[in-house]
Chain A
């Protein structure tokens, strides 16, 4: 069974600084996707960034980038120039295709607070 582990329950960063959130996962699959989702107090999960396992190049989306280490099964999220609006819970998630079902497996989450 696949598992996703986020070892940092809480993180804080000063506004405009850089922070890295960690995620490791366990799978025997070769073809899968990895995601980082943001869940602000409004509760709605918002996709931050995603990475296809077959792509070696790390995904980037504006201030957000990942460090994907497939052999180490590591998938960290780097947030540059942190903004107050980045304060939220962040979830790392894994998806593989099981038959016709594409389900997300989430980690426990990391609460990030950006301080002014």
Chain B
């Protein structure tokens, strides 16, 4: 059983550019959630995908968008990058969306916007 993998591990972008982050969910998992973790802070929920549909969204602007593919892997896209978007982006997958299923996290993508 493979774990959750994210790519790339590190990324540097210029303000105003666009970025795509990728997440491969754990085998057998159909739910992917994305979180933004600023330095020294706890992760903040961006959105969740369940069976290829957006299934809930946190307090993030529309320039944060996502996608889930038929194999349940997922992408996070951020347009018009701002300096405050610099953070660790975590992906978590789970078997279902219900509370009693454990979420497994990837190692994250460290995004730096300059």
Residues of A within 8 A of B (CB): 4, 31-33, 42-47, 50, 52, 91, 93, 95-109
Contacts and interface: CB of A to CB of B under 8 A. Distances in A.
9 contacts: A44-B106, A95-B99, A97-B99, A100-B97, A101-B56, A102-B48, A104-B33, A104-B45, A106-B43
Given A44-B105, A102-B101, 16 more contacts: A31-B99, A32-B99, A33-B100, A42-B107, A43-B110, A45-B43, A52-B100, A97-B98, A100-B50, A101-B55, A102-B48, A104-B43, A104-B45, A106-B35, A108-B40, A109-B41
B90 A47 contact: no
B108 interface: yes
Given A44-B106, A52-B100, A99 B42 contact: no
Contacts of B108: 43-44
A105 B99 contact: no
Q: Describe A's contact surface by its main secondary structure.
A: strand
A101 to B, nearest CB: 3
A45 B105 CA distance: 6
Contacts of B106: 44
A12 B45 CA distance: 29
Which of A43, A106, A108 has the most CB atoms of chain B within a 10 A radius of its CB?
A43
Contact of B42 (A43, A101, A107): A107
Contacts of A33: 99-100
A102 B102 CA distance: 11
A4 B41 CA distance: 12
